Amino acid sequence: MVTKQKHPIHFFPDHTQKLMKTLGSEHLLKALRAMLLIRNFEIRSESAYQHGNIGGFFHAYIGQEAIQTACVDLLGQKPWYLTTYRCHALALLLGVTPAEAMAELYGKATGNAQGRGGSMHLYADRLLGGFGIVGGHLPVAIGAAFSIKYQKQKSLSVCFLGDGAVAQGTLHESLNMASLWDLPCLFVIENNQWGMGTAVERAVCMFPIAETLAPAYNCKGYSVNGMDYFSCYSCFQQAAQEVIETSRPVIIEAFTERFKGHSVSDPGLYRSKENLQKAMEQDPIIRLMKTLEAAGHLTQEAYEQMNKEEKEKVIAAMKFAEESPLPDVMTLEEGVFCPR
Amino acid sequence: MEMQEVEMREALRQAIDEEMTRDTRVIVLGEEVAEYNGAYKVTKGMLDKWGPERILDTPIAENCFAGLGIGAAMTGLKPIVEFMSFNFSFVAADQIISNACKMYYMSGGRFSVPIVFRGPNGAAAQVSCQHSHCVEAMYGNFPGLIIIAPSNPYDAKGLLKSAIRDPNPVIFLENELEYGMKMEIPRQEYLVEIGKAKIVREGHHVTLVSYSRMLNICKGVASELAQKGIHVELIDLRTIKPLDIATVAESVRKTNRCILVEEGHMFAGICAEIGFQIQEHCFDFLDAPIVRICQKETPMPYSKVLERETLPTKAKIMRAIEDVLR
């Protein structure tokens, strides 16, 4: 294999001090709390999986929390959102209750999709789904952007994808059409370095991805440190504004790390202990916690308390899921078609 | 009733045009639908009338524009996606199968996908292996899709209007060789209900079931046999899924014999399904084995003689009927 040309990464500035001021401590503590809910939800549900309460495939968002938290903090319920099968976090951020999400994982009637979607397919009013086919949701995302444009709304479609999807043809097709048709779509490549067990450099010929791709599609492309809440927030702020104002696609590559395997059944044998250790040192939750602590917005005790509260929310959600009824098998064939 | 004589393509165009007038959420997208006026002229004049916001030429990227249509459908629009040939829908199979067809169920009823995929299906004249496949059996295997295959301009217009209004994804199958087919249809608006077969010709000797272009071949067979005193009951399925098995079964209980004709392949085809359902519903009524005439198990050859040999023909259908009546 020819050694690939690696271009330097131009990381988007984090503007930490400025954001600390403009966002204020209440906003940032809320963000930290949201990230802790995701972390606790993933840890607990993974253990529920190990106990056999959750089946199928299960992909945890642990390590990547800063990215989607910052995005939803900034944009709220305004955009249409789409993401991959690693979708628990985005659903929680967009208002799906931990109970409703957990019940879906447990395959219960009270679940987010009535026990029909499972871990990979969660929805909210503005979340068009966790999608199970790598790259399969990209054309759908530009379709949502098309609707926004057709209905003359001032909004955007936000499409999260993994580095694995960069090798799919849909990325090229969707960027091409979004650029040709001036569609307000923000593509967020969450580069967690691994497509299942295949390192990104063995699957994608570009480095960095967004900065390399963007000029070819006549759009902006940004690299951002996905382990840092402030960097992500700043970058989304700039990118979303550009998408809405110009009605053009923008690509962000968020460099991140997942601390777990691709899915719960993946022991991660392809990854060295040192590699994982190094990744975990960048924990986005610890990073935000330390920044807030240094600024005097948070004490260790308050942090522990917050973590405990979020853990309790998840435990309550598990109790709800456990106690919820299974779907009535008589309903199996209902809802294949939408009633006329 | 005031009537008008129209070609199939005009009937389809009228259906789209009327629905676009009725509902501003309806848009048309596909390859060559706008400036070129449609590869088969179904969308002729529509760009001039509706403008580039609603009649959209796409690049040759079926998977992308099918998915774009699905995303638009999930967020409030009612797209009609034209495939220049349904054989190109294979490029878009992931979007149709994994997204359009499963979304409503998978989301527990949160998001529906009101979209119509339409275009010519099956063989035309010598277009060879990669442009001739009949897709209905393949898509018929995916719960969540409605599949419609009209045989004449009247049904085509009424069914396409119903398809556009339906909140579910619809595979609407036309036929390149029938775009010029003429028929008198009403000038005023009408709908044809999805999921209802039609008894085209009543008879008591044998039930003959088909749809789309093959139905018109069967029509010829039935009139010829009538002159010989054999009265065929001919059923046009019109909608393949949901299948109107009640109409078929009622007929078979009367005639006790059944012949099924399909342009697509034999193995796991639509006839295989209908035949099995007849067996489930009419086992005690059958006086002869059900016979199916389908495309042979070959890709579509280019050469005229080979093309004719692999497809169902009038002679093959005639022979099958005479055999089951023996």
Kindly report, residue by residue over A267-279, the tens digit of the pLDDT: 888 889 998 899 8
C-alpha to C-alpha distance for B321 and B12, rounded to whole angstroms: 33
Q: Which of B55, B96, B104, B110 to mutate to test binding with chain A, by most A CBs within 10 Å of its CB?
A: B110
CATH superfamily of A16-321: Thiamin diphosphate (ThDP)-binding fold, Pyr/PP domains (3.40.50.970)
> Which residues of A are less than 8 Å from B105 in CB distance?
116, 335-336
User: Which is it for the CA torsion B305, B311, B314, B318, positive or negative?
Assistant: positive
| Gap from B118 CA to chain A (nearest CA, Å) | 18
Q: Measured between CB atoms, which of B66, B69, B168 is closest to A337?
A: B168
C-alpha to C-alpha distance for B65 and B29, rounded to whole angstroms: 8
Q: Where are the domains of chain B?
A: 3-186, 198-325
C-alpha to C-alpha distance for B113 and B131, rounded to whole angstroms: 27
Kindly report, residue by residue over A171-181, the tens digit of the pLDDT: 999 999 999 99
Strands B291-295 and B232-236: unpaired
Burial of B250 (C-beta count, 10 Å sphere; 0-12/13-18/19+)? middle
Q: Pick the residue from chain B with its C-alpha nearest to A339.
A: B167
C-alpha to C-alpha distance for A158 and A138, rounded to whole angstroms: 10
B133 catalytically annotated: no
Q: Which of A148, A328, A119, A206 is nearest to B68 (CA)?
A: A148
Kindly report, residue by residue over A90-115, the tens digit of the pLDDT: 999 999 999 999 999 999 999 999 99
Q: Measured between CB atoms, which of A116, A142, A169 is closest to B105?
A: A116
C-alpha to C-alpha distance for B7 and B184, rounded to whole angstroms: 9
The whole-number pLDDT of residue A3 equals 57
Written as one string, the DSSP assignment of A146-214 is: HHHHHTT-S--EEEEEEGGGGGSHHHHHHHHHHHHTT--EEEEEEE-SEETTEEGGGT---SSHHHHHH
Contact B105 A146 (CB under 8 A): no
In the numeric block, which tokens belong to residue B153? 């301009």
What's the whole-number mean pLDDT along residues B288-309?
96
A2 pLDDT higher than 60: no
User: Which is it for the CA torsion B110, B116, B117, B123, positive or negative?
Assistant: positive
What's the whole-number mean pLDDT along residues B10-37?
98
Q: Which of A307, A263, A302 is nearest to A283 (CA)?
A: A307
Contact B95 A139 (CB under 8 A): yes
User: Which is it for the CA torsion B5, B314, B123, B260, positive or negative?
Assistant: positive
The architecture CATH gives domain B3-186: 3-Layer(aba) Sandwich (3.40)
Q: Measured between CB atoms, which of A116, A123, A147 is closest to B72?
A: A147
Q: Measured between CB atoms, which of B69, B72, B144 is closest to A337?
A: B144
Report yes or no: A102 and A41 within 8 Å, Cβ to Cβ. yes
Interface of B with A (CB under 8 A): 27, 53, 58-59, 61, 63-77, 94-95, 98-99, 103-112, 114, 143-144, 146, 165-168
Contact B64 A174 (CB under 8 A): yes
| Gap from B296 CA to chain A (nearest CA, Å) | 33
Q: Which helix (H) or strand (E) holds A233?
A: helix A229-246
Q: Pick the residue from chain B with its C-alpha nearest to A181.
A: B58
In the numeric block, which tokens belong to residue A102? 């957990």
A119 pLDDT higher than 80: yes
Q: Which of B53, B55, B68, B80 to mutate to test binding with chain A, by most A CBs within 10 Å of its CB?
A: B68
C-alpha to C-alpha distance for B235 and B232, rounded to whole angstroms: 9
Strands A220-225 and A157-162: unpaired
The whole-number pLDDT of residue A308 equals 98
Average model confidence (pLDDT) across chain A: 96
Q: Among residues B62, B82, B233, B273, which one is catalytic?
A: B62
Q: Pick the residue from chain A with its C-alpha nearest to B68.
A: A143
In the numeric block, which tokens belong to residue B313? 């023909």
Q: Which of A122, A123, A147, A332 to mutate to test binding with chain B, by most B CBs within 10 Å of its CB?
A: A147
What's the whole-number mean pLDDT along residues B254-265?
98
A155 strand-pairing partners:
none
Q: What is the largest CA-CA distance in chain A?
A: 58
B62 catalytically annotated: yes
Contact A150 B77 (CB under 8 A): yes
Q: Measured between CB atoms, which of B58, B75, B94 is closest to A144?
A: B75
| Gap from A22 CA to chain B (nearest CA, Å) | 33
C-alpha to C-alpha distance for B16 and B35, rounded to whole angstroms: 17
Q: Which of A128, A148, A180 to mutate to test binding with chain B, by most B CBs within 10 Å of its CB?
A: A128
A213 pLDDT higher than 90: yes
B169 pLDDT higher than 60: yes
Is pLDDT larger for residue A313 or for residue A260?
A313
Q: A252: pLDDT confidence band, cut at 50, 70 and 90?
A: very high
Contact B27 A145 (CB under 8 A): no
Q: Measured between CB atoms, which of A133, A180, A338 is closest to B112?
A: A338
Contact A151 B76 (CB under 8 A): yes
Report yes or no: A173 and B63 within 8 Å, Cβ to Cβ. yes
Q: Say if pTM beats, i.e. exceeds, 0.90.
A: yes
Cβ pairs bridging A and B (under 8 Å): 138
Contact B70 A137 (CB under 8 A): no
Contact A338 B70 (CB under 8 A): no
In the numeric block, which tokens belong to residue B44? 């002729």
What's the whole-number mean pLDDT along residues B186-192?
98
Q: Which helix (H) or strand (E) holds A241?
A: helix A229-246
The whole-number pLDDT of residue A262 equals 86
User: Which is it for the CA torsion A110, A114, A116, A117, positive or negative?
Assistant: negative
Report yes or no: A272 and A278 within 8 Å, Cβ to Cβ. no
The whole-number pLDDT of residue A4 equals 62
In this structure, the number of other CB atoms found within 10 A of the CB of residue B246 comes to: 11
Interface of A with B (CB under 8 A): 80, 82, 111-117, 121, 123, 128-129, 131-133, 136-148, 150-151, 157, 169-170, 173-174, 176-177, 180, 335-340
B275 pLDDT higher than 80: yes
C-alpha to C-alpha distance for B83 and A135, rounded to whole angstroms: 22
Check for a shared fold between B3-186 and B198-325.
yes
Q: Where are the domains of chain A?
A: 16-321
Is pLDDT larger for residue B41 or for residue A2?
B41
Q: A227: pLDDT confidence band, cut at 50, 70 and 90?
A: very high
Half-sphere exposure of B245 (CA within 13 A, CB side): 14
Q: Which of B152, B179, B180, B155 is nearest to B82 (CA)?
A: B179
C-alpha to C-alpha distance for B181 and A117, rounded to whole angstroms: 45
The whole-number pLDDT of residue B157 equals 98
In this structure, the number of other CB atoms found within 10 A of the CB of residue B35 comes to: 9
> Which residues of A are less than 8 Å from B165 in CB distance?
340
Q: Among residues B82, B131, B262, B273, which one is catalytic?
A: B131
> Which residues of B are less than 8 Å from A157 in CB distance?
71
Contact A139 B65 (CB under 8 A): yes
Contact A339 B167 (CB under 8 A): yes
Kindly report, residue by residue over B26-61, the tens digit of the pLDDT: 999 999 999 999 999 999 999 999 999 999 999 999
Give 3-state DSSP helix, strand, coil % of chain B, rounded to 5.
40, 20, 40
Residues 6+ apart with CB under 8 A from B294: B261, B262, B263, B264, B265, B266, B269, B271, B312
CATH class, domain B198-325, is alpha beta
Report yes or no: B86 and B173 within 8 Å, Cβ to Cβ. yes
Kindly report, residue by residue over A28-83, the tens digit of the pLDDT: 999 999 999 999 999 999 999 999 999 999 999 999 999 999 999 999 999 999 99
Burial of A106 (C-beta count, 10 Å sphere; 0-12/13-18/19+)? buried
> Which residues of A are less than 8 Å from B27 in CB distance?
150
Q: How far is CA B196 from CA A142, A279, A330, B146, in A?
A: 36, 61, 26, 12
Q: Measured between CB atoms, which of A112, A141, A151 is closest to B71?
A: A141
Of A147-156, A192-201, B68-77, the range with the lowest mean pLDDT is A192-201
> Which residues of B are less than 8 Å from A128 in CB distance?
71, 74-75, 111
Average model confidence (pLDDT) across chain B: 97
Contact B63 A121 (CB under 8 A): no
C-alpha to C-alpha distance for B324 and B27, rounded to whole angstroms: 48
Q: Measured between CB atoms, which of A117, A137, A157 is closest to B108?
A: A117
